[in-house]
Amino acid sequence: MRYLCTNCSYIYDEALWDALEWIASWTLFDDLWEDFVCPSCYEEKENFQEIKEEINYPYDNKGNLSALEKEHYINYSLENDVLKVYVGKDEEHPMEEWHFIACIALFDENDEKIEEKFLSPEDDCIAEFDIQYLDEFEIKIYCSLHLWWGSGKININSL
């Protein structure tokens, strides 16, 4: 999630390391110390607002994808109730210091997060989930540069 300082528009991104405050990647906003203030204008933590993120979806699943859509294309396979997810249409999504897949998450049919795997630039862009209890789900990924991407709803019977 990302949070906006309502005073100066500084953005705190939970997925990224904050060099100004030496905050580790994937430090949740709620887990920041109580007297945390904006590193830019010193506004109090209570004056930050969660940014509601839009989910990007590839425009055309028939292969007519832009380079950006190919980079964030969500591939998956199912074997013995284990869903294997990897990102990238023709090649794996880059896993570089400032451009990487930071999270691969699984959501149920009600768009409730079931499980998430956090990745760092040193990791392979792959995650596995046990889906034996799901009928329908969606996979969402978070790119440190291009934000959220989704697979759309997937019915287990169509796999």
Span(s) in the chain for CATH 2.20.28.10: 1-52
Region 67-158: CATH code: 2.60.40.730
Residue 99 has pLDDT above 80, yes or no: yes
Domain 1-52 maps to which CATH number in 1.10.3720.10, 3.40.630.30, 2.20.28.10, 3.90.1150.10? Answer: 2.20.28.10
Residue 63 has pLDDT above 70, yes or no: no
> pLDDT tier at 26 (50, 70, 90 boundaries)?
confident
pTM above 0.85, yes or no: no
d(CA 22, CA 147): 22
More confident position, 15 or 86: 86
Query: Could you report the per-residue pLDDT of 101-150, keeping only the tens digit for each?
Result: 999 999 999 988 899 999 989 999 999 999 988 889 999 999 988 989 99
Q: Are 57 and 149 in contact (CB under 8 A)?
A: yes
The mean of the pLDDT values for the chain is 88
Out of 41-55, 56-70, 113-127, least confident range:
56-70
Span(s) in the chain for CATH 2.60.40.730: 67-158
> Strands, DSSP E only, in 10-156?
11-13, 48-51, 74-79, 82-87, 101-108, 113-118, 126-130, 136-143, 147-150, 154-155
